[in-house]
Structure 1
């Protein structure tokens, strides 16, 4: 038999083992980190054609130019079939492609609540195969719910004592799988046989419950036993039921009804039979130990009201009453898409002070979002009260000036020795905790702080030789994490609302630091649910409150906020490349842009909040430096430009042409209205008015240098201080970066007097504050001014990442800014394509630059080097180095195309 045909026969017979293409060993490791719909082992997949993805890695770290030339996906109905190499649900066959994400499932129809097992084989650029990946799985969501919404009988939405629910059931045979689905509104904690299920806190996600209700899914097989079992659920009000609470802080009043629960559990026995346990009228409830529950006012817990074993089998529930079956809030049940909120870090006190007899203040050293965890002992009925706050009063007691109060947590002791407690359904933003005994006596053994926020993985790292830059980075990252829960909030205490402008203005900084694909998708769904019939997208989503008394007030409808419906989704696509998400959101975007276009008069949109919180006469708030209409018209222009790009991606050429025309009309109108030919500036010459059109490419080429000069001159005229508000600030930083003026940005970063980041540090801030000067009357934990984070990664680190770029070698671009005051930078971003690294160091007149491009990718690297200066890669001239192609020298840098791998450039 000819050798070629012998090879074909062998490959066919042993397809499950994979075959190379003529080389002994492949240059790729087995694919790893398999995900379905951007989640690891998801338990409730609702997409009928989910997307699969995996990570690539070279077989050795010193290899270059390693890539994927093909893949094969096997999806099986059982682990046994998969182990045998049988893709009885889908065998993609060998697909010639370098793609490793966005792989759409194209197999047999998927069955509700069934688990599917899958693995993938990849071939390297030479055609040699890697081993099969480890197996992964996903489970489909339930197709129908037979469970009912239940509530405690005889209660209303104003009842303070929070109910607990229980149901005993039997497992009669050997189990092979038990899946639990639960939605407890507002927030819930589900227990099985005396133990909490999962690590999630504050679940489910906050939504417009009249449109969408989220549920969690858990595999609880290991928590059940043959014989008697019990399920119990605790609830808190959350954002579902916000009622006015006299004597305690209430930001808003908005209720979807009294607390309620829906539970459905599917048991699959070894003999193939199934049984479903559901919430219905047979369940029982009673008043639980949570006697006060408010997202804003805090939480009170009375341990003397605990009922030991209430969530276990055999509990005597004689005093419990049957529940009421109730109507739900009306929203469609959908599985969680945002990552769970969890306790992500614990803070220990750095200082403890008895400010007066019986009153102790704990300083946890960091302003964070979460709750205190206290260990106490004392007499039965004694009440320990914990008052959290961001700042201290002059007498050392805790102040809630910046966060609004009164707010507190309290725990009533049961008096049985050492007791430990933390709130379950209310969190706050704080650094300090004031502890006092509201009644009775006791001792506090310890108090720590639990940081509670999204469990989205950290993907970015930035550090430098400049400690002030590192401290600013810390401020911003902390505020971003503290305000990332099941949505992006403005602050974790005073409002906790999903103000939308932050989701696009500082999206790059958010994305560089954490993998927020799920959180952006959840935010986009919240915006879609909040959109009005006329297309308006409100300033907050979910829209838990309306600020205007009649019609749309400026705090309800402002273009800089509503444009998040287009621009936040586009930012997410550039980072994560999910074309399906663009397709789902496209109708919402179209309606919003049509709405905003309808607000234009002679092409100008002149309403809204303007350049919010800019620096000018009087206190912060509405823009003062820039005419109303500049920022809003720029939003319409940017929306139109972005929509044209999206329409082309979605193969809608007629739509794209229409948006191109809208962008052209809007840009022409803007220049006609705001360009001042006599001063060669826009509007009144503010930093924002000049920076936005410059950053967005609207300034005519002949005028760009002049407009840039005016921006720089204005910054210097203000002693290297910013005057923009939160809207203009990111655009100003981008305009300076694009022009190579990171030296100006560095000068602003180094200021220590207000308005500046340095002044916040000088004031003792440990998270980014709402006002540039860390005003104690404003929040001490906002990320809206966090535009510098983009400069740290994209400017100093030089990492520019954009999956929307058509040229593959332009998706990863590295072009660091080398500035005075910084001797070295270490920067990395674990992107959708893999980990990108950009480190540089200056030493004795030489520049060393280390770059890593992930496997399967190519990149464009700009090495800062003056004309005529030699650039080496290791010990070889860069243009002769392996997998390095010289492109050009321009603007003080040498441009190279590089394949995947690590590179060490040296400029002397």
Structure 2
């Protein structure tokens, strides 16, 4: 049996709203081993029967199944059009397969195609107001409709309605970008929303938008500034209708529309929402409404040159979490516990008289006495207020505000409180699950759960850092250290690619990279006691501009992201080069090994000197840039920056190593980054490893690392022959450790190792998020080392995998899988004494090297030819399923 399970266009299945086809891929399935694609046929058509072909590859001799490039110029695609795509393949030992079919819908393919105006009823006097507003118009459909597509965006947040129905299931559109440089619009198939059954006389259809302040003009940032991008929230919509007779018509937002304020009296990202149902307007989004008292809208100037289409990875209401219990605190507050820290909103049912109110205050944790704890929210209110209009039961959730919470204090509620009337929904960017991990240790399984929920809570359109307090910013450092873990857990290509465009858009003229992206700090952070004028270009934070494209290349095998981000990456290397002195890089405010436990009392800055951490990242990023320059054929740059890299490494080694072959900075982090970034002279490597073990032992086997050292700690141990110590570090369950948080009842990753102390008291109200994914970077080690699923840098995208599991830690088994662009990779092992059974699955059209760590004898090779090498046993495998048994030390 030979077949295809899915077709991916730009790494998405059936995308709606693409500007061009960057690459096409497909997943091959077969019950045979050693399946290698011989050729493929790919067709694109206007019709589902493939009678109107616009592209036909013919039988193409190629083994490529993940990055097939199509000449978009030869396609001559039309805007706002649905196309069908199908693929079939032959393998070297069989075929052809059956056709596998998918589709895609184009966005607006040129800047000139965007005609809609941005419209609003707000004036400059409303700049400090965060009310919701409605805009609407009616359109007449005079012919029978074949297809209709809406292209929609806003300066602020929007919800689109047609004939009373909300279009799509996306939330918080158009998302958060550097609006004035990069604004997304979404495309929706609205064919089934339009009335055309009376087309002979013309069918009247209502098109309406609900608009909120959102990130565009609302309060964003811990210095509590607003109007970062503009002062008036506005809406833009363009509906392209194709009729059965082949003609087309476009309907646009313009100044003929009408508007009024909505029942959303206030809605902000941090502070929640106030909604008065008594102000509802029946039929506001339906045809036939009398809008005589509605206001005329005004057009807001905004250039179409910054618009780009978003075809996937939009925020959705994804996971439902019912209320677990309702209880009274010692202080007498009524609290609902949802049992899971999350990001999203609470949906509730209420039945009350006109004027009755519901007031809910969201928060993360209870204090040591079991009472409501709000201090770590800082100034964020996280409050939902709803005013009833009548006696009927209604269901409500916020429109333009999300909360970070596990608990909710019910300050006001008419009637009897019942658990079934309250449901929480997690909202986050919609990304397919790619990784699964399970082991025999329930605490590690809970840690894995916490890592996943930390990612869910902080991947709401941008990679944020704390979804509960008055921050929720796209910190580049957090994104950098977690990005490899994230790629194992979910399909992050579209999410990160979108965000990287804003990294580039917000770089300074010199190439500096902001601390947060989208940037709202540069030139605005002087009010903050820490930042003042150091509001960009911190090592390990700004290096996301290099490390994230490299991570996406490794994970997907995709050179597009390198080419797209190349200028941005080169500019960042140039910035470090310009501001380094004798190849030692340091610049203004540096976070260093942020919140490391070896910091001085009362300080956030770890003990490892900035000169070392900055220069280590300078070398590491330059090395990765050289590799990427070579990959896309920029040989002159590769040669130039390889020379620079060698000079930086030489300076690093002369500066931070003494004549005895030891580092002159004796911190855990100094040893870790030197080892992981390969900055140690080979003759000194064992010294550095021994010093790291000594420093670990000095802390009774505990880490004292912060943001720079923690992500690489277990790697630095296991990659240097100390998997036993890596497991021991992972399995610590007292402070400070990953499992300490688990034992304290955490359901997400915390910002601080001791965010909550054993007695229930808090680390600090100033900066103490209980949903902060950064330290979840240990998840990468679980997949890459414990399970042993590793990509081969020479054959990225898991075209060739390295399966090198590291049993240990007293674990009886590990079950792990990763859904690559070629298909699912599986590495399961279980241990009985010193006997290991390893189950491996290698996807079609790929190969793998199977390297059982510390194996002393292969008992059952499953037909593979294992060879003994200096590193241990190794066998090369084609696609298929393998059961291997071996003895280990």
1:150-169 aligned at under 5 Å gives the runs 150-154=119-123, 156-169=126-139
For the pair 1:414 / 2:389, whether they are aligned, the reply is: yes
Which of 50, 57, 61 is the matching residue for 2:22?
Answer: 50
Deviates more, 1:423-432 or 1:623-632: 623-632
1:202, CA displacement in angstroms?
0.8
User: How has the CA–CA distance of structure 1 residues 853 and 593 changed in structure 2, closer, same or farther, with 3 Å as cutoff?
Assistant: same
Once the two structures are superposed, residues 813-863 of structure 1 have per-residue CA deviations (whole angstroms, 9 ceiling, x without a partner) of 011111132110001000122100000001254211100000111100012
In the alignment, what sits opposite 1:145?
Answer: 114
The residue aligned with 1:233 is 209
Aligned-pair CA distance for 1:606: 2.5
Picking from 598, 603, 609, the partner of 2:583 is 603
Q: What does residue 901 of structure 1 align with?
A: 880
Secondary structure at 2:214 match in 1: coil
Contact 2:825 2:841 in 1 (8 A): yes
Identify which of 785, 796, 806 aligns with 1:795: 785
Where 2:770 maps in the other structure, the secondary structure is: coil
Aligned residue in 2 for 1:399: 373
In structure 2, list runs of 5 or more residues that go unmatched.
Answer: 197-202, 757-761
| Aligned residue among 621, 624, 634 for 1:652 | 634
Relative to structure 1, is the Cα distance of residues 394 and 888 closer, same or farther in structure 2, using a 3 angstrom cutoff? Answer: closer
Whole-angstrom CA distance in 2 between matches of 1:35 and 1:819: 37
Cα pair 2:107 2:187 within 8 Å, conserved: no
Residue 752 (structure 1) shift: 2.1
TM-score normalised per structure 2: 0.93
Matched, 1:594 2:574: yes
CA distance in 2, matches of 1:296, 1:210: 22
Q: 2:807 aligns with which of 818, 831, 844?
A: 818
CA-atom RMSD, angstroms? 2.3
Counterpart selection for 1:712 from 674, 693, 700: 693
1:570 match: 550
Q: Select 1:457's aligned residue among 410, 432, 443.
A: 432
Q: Residue deviations 1:105-149, cap 9 Å, x none?
A: 124322222332221110112253112112433324353111111
Deviation per residue, 1:694-733 (Å, 9 max, x gap): 1122211111112111111211220111111111222322
Summarize deviations over 1:185-209 as a string: whole Å, max 9, x none: 3111111111111110111120111
Residue equivalent to 2:680: 699
Deviation at 1:345, TM superposition (A): 0.6
The alignment status of 1:854 with 2:843, answered yes or no, reads: yes
Residue 759 of structure 2 corresponds to none
Q: Which residue of 2 aligns with 1:110?
A: 77
Which stretch shifts more, 806-815 or 557-566?
Answer: 806-815
Total equivalences in the alignment: 858
Compute the displacement of 1:244 (Å).
8.8
Distance 1:357 1:508, change over 3 A: closer
Find the counterpart in structure 1 of residue 671 from structure 2. Answer: 690
Structure 1: any 5+ residue segments left out of the alignment?
1-26, 875-880
Q: CA deviation at 1:734?
A: 2.0
Q: 1:20-419 residue pairs with structure 2 within 5 A?
A: 27-29=1-3, 31-47=4-20, 49-58=21-30, 60=31, 63-80=32-49, 82=50, 84=51, 88-106=53-71, 107-126=74-93, 128-143=95-110, 144-154=113-123, 156-226=126-196, 227-243=203-219, 250=224, 254-328=228-302, 332-336=306-310, 339-355=313-329, 359-393=333-367, 396-404=370-378, 405-419=380-394
TM-score (norm 1): 0.91
Distance 1:683 1:187 in 2: 53
For residues 244 and 508 of structure 1, do their structure 2 counterparts lie closer, same or farther at Cα, with a shift above 3 Å needed?
closer
- Residues 492-529 of structure 1, C-alpha deviations (whole Å, 9 max, x = no match): 12211000112222222111000000011011101011
Q: Is the Cα contact below 8 Å between 2:120 and 2:232 reproduced in 1?
A: yes
Q: In the TM superposition, what is the alpha-carbon distance from 1:873 to its structure 2 partner?
A: 3.1
Q: Is the 8 A contact 1:64 1:900 kept in 2?
A: yes
Distance 1:313 1:687, change over 3 A: same
Distance 1:399 1:281 in 2: 48
Matched with 1:489 is 464
Q: CA–CA distance in 2 between the matches of 1:866 and 1:766? A: 36
| Range that drifts further, 730-739 or 420-429 | 730-739
Structure-1 separation of matches of 2:670 and 2:455 = 27
C-alpha distance 244-721 of structure 1, shift in aligned 2 (>3 A): closer
In structure 2, C-alpha distance between the alignment counterparts of 1:270 and 1:866, rounded to whole Å: 67
- 1:260 deviates by 0.4
State the SS of the aligned residue for 1:262. strand
SS of residue in 1 equivalent to 2:292: coil
Of 337-346 and 226-235, deviating more is: 337-346
Question: SS in structure 1 opposite 2:459?
Answer: coil
Change in Cα spacing, 1:621 to 1:795, as seen in structure 2 (3 Å) is: farther
- 1:749 alignment partner in structure 2: 730
Tell me how far 1:329 sits from its aligned partner: 7.4
Give distance in 2, aligned partners of 1:249 and 1:698: 39
The question of whether the paired residues in 1 share the 8 Å contact of 2:855 and 2:886 is answered with no
Shift in alpha-carbon separation, 1:762–1:323, aligned structure 2, 3 A: same
Q: What secondary structure is seen at the aligned counterpart in 1 of 2:585?
A: coil
Q: Tell me, what secondary structure is at the counterpart of 2:376?
A: coil
Native 8 Å contact 2:859 2:885 kept in 1: yes
Secondary structure in 1 matching 2:339: strand
1:760 to 741, 748, 753: 741
